[in-house]
Amino acid sequence: MLRVVKPKTKQARRALEKRAPKIKENVKKALLLHGTSTSAVVKGVLSDLHHIKKDGGNAVHWTRKNENIRPFEPAGAAPLEFFSKKTDCSLVVFGSHSKKRPNNIVFGRFYDNHVYDFMELGVERYKSVKDHGGARKFSPQVGSKPCFAFIGEAFESDEKCRQFKEMMLDFFRGEEVDRINLAGLDRVFVCVATATKVLFRHCAIRLMKSGTKVPQIVLVDVGPSLDMVFRRNQTPGEELRKEAMRTVSKAPQKKIKNVSSDMMDGKVGRIYMPKQEVGEIALKKMKGLKRERREAAAALPDGERKDEARKKLRQNDEQ
């Protein structure tokens, strides 16, 4: 027998609606975790990436070790799929360290809680945020939208580099926006491809005065800096890629209430106001009325007059 299960609280309902599939999707959340053995380098990398992405709850960092996770085996990737479903994270960074693959970082993506693709990189040189000097005056603000600079023809010709470029974009992009305040451009991810490696740098942008409208750009390395080597990778099948890339041509327009357009007047809006009790509106104290009070005081008999008048004037002056 089937039974309808509904959330019992409004908060639970809102949480479920947030996780539901939508036309315009939420920012992708990242899950950072490591396997049975890690090195200081791997731990540092995970921690730094977490700090970059944690604004708005977009990153989940697990510090305990997790066994039996082998991303490149179908059975070994199942725990990652389960974690992705539970934490609603469609990006994953899995770090591990072994003799065969030292300082290993696997970037992964999920589609519909199933594996989409993986990319394995070995960190050869790592300089953490702390090594660069930690947070400074011109460090980028938490949660700001980054710029990306990919330098090197390999990002177009080489398959692994191309996948890396897509991954980095997906990972650090943040929200899709159509308006941006240019003063808030404060971080760049610079990736340079060499013959065997890819150099990943995270820099803060300093806008310096130039003579023109366009400021001069100066980059300052704030970390983390990673020199990485490509190891294994896994690409999605053609069908999966097609399905994941599907978009709706036009999202349904939200209805705007009380706005219409007129041939003569153009855009016309209606404002609804509550009924006003004109007789009881609180008015500002008019100084002109003071004279009336003085006159009223003048009409009083002599004995009371001076005290009354003085009292009233003092009150009015104070107000």
Partner 1 sequence: MAAEEEGAGMDSLSGLRMDIGNLLVFDATDPGIEEASTSSDDYDEQCLRKGARAIQALAEKLFNMPSEADKYGRLVILPPPTTKLPREKPLPKPRPPTKWEQFAQSKGIKKRKRSKLDFDEDAGEWRRRYGYKRVADERDIPVIEAKSTDEPGEDPFSNMKKEKKARIEKQEKNRLQNLKHTLKVAGKSALPSTVQLSTMALPITGSAQVPKKLTKDELGEIAGHASTATASVGKFDRKLEGEKPAKHAGKHRKFLPVVGSSKEEKQQSDKILDKVLSRHNQEIVDVNKVSDLIFAFRGLANFSHGVLGFCVGC
Between residue 104 and residue 133, which ones bind partner 1 under the rule CB under 8 A?
109-112, 116, 125
Residue 197 binds partner 1 (CB under 8 A): yes
Nearest CB to partner 1, comparing residues 187 and 297? 187
Site membership for partner 1, residue 20 (CB under 8 A): yes
Applying CB under 8 A, the site for partner 1 has a residue count of 82
Three-class DSSP labels, 214-273: CCEEEEEECCCEEEEEEEEEECCCHHHHHHHCCCCCCCCCCCCCCEEEECCCEEEECCCC
Task: Give the shortest CB-22-to-partner 1 separation in angstroms.
Answer: 6
* Gap between the Cα atoms of 85 and 27, Å rounded: 15
- Among positions 78, 147, 309, 313, the unique one binding partner 1 when judged by CB under 8 A: 147
Considering only 56, 65, 68, 156, the residue that binds partner 1 (CB under 8 A) is 156
Helix, strand or coil for residue 115? strand
The one-letter code for the residue type at 307 is: D
Does 55 engage in binding with partner 1 (CB under 8 A)? Answer: no
Closest distance of CB 190 from partner 1, Å: 4
The footprint of partner 1 on residues 248-267 (CB under 8 A) is 248
Burial of 141 per CB tally in 10 Å (0-12, 13-18, 19+)? exposed
* Distances, alpha carbon 190 to alpha carbons 33, 91, 93, 121, 147, in Å: 24, 20, 19, 17, 9
Closest CB to partner 1 among 248 and 263?
248
In the region spanning residues 224 to 253, those forming contacts with partner 1, defined by CB under 8 A, are 225, 227, 236, 241, 243-248
Site string for partner 1, 73-92 (x = CB under 8 A): -----------------x--
Using CB under 8 A, which residues numbered 27 to 46 contact partner 1?
28
Residues 204-223 that bind partner 1 (CB under 8 A): 205, 210, 213-221
Q: Residue 196: left (phi > 0), alpha (psi -120 to 50), or beta? A: alpha
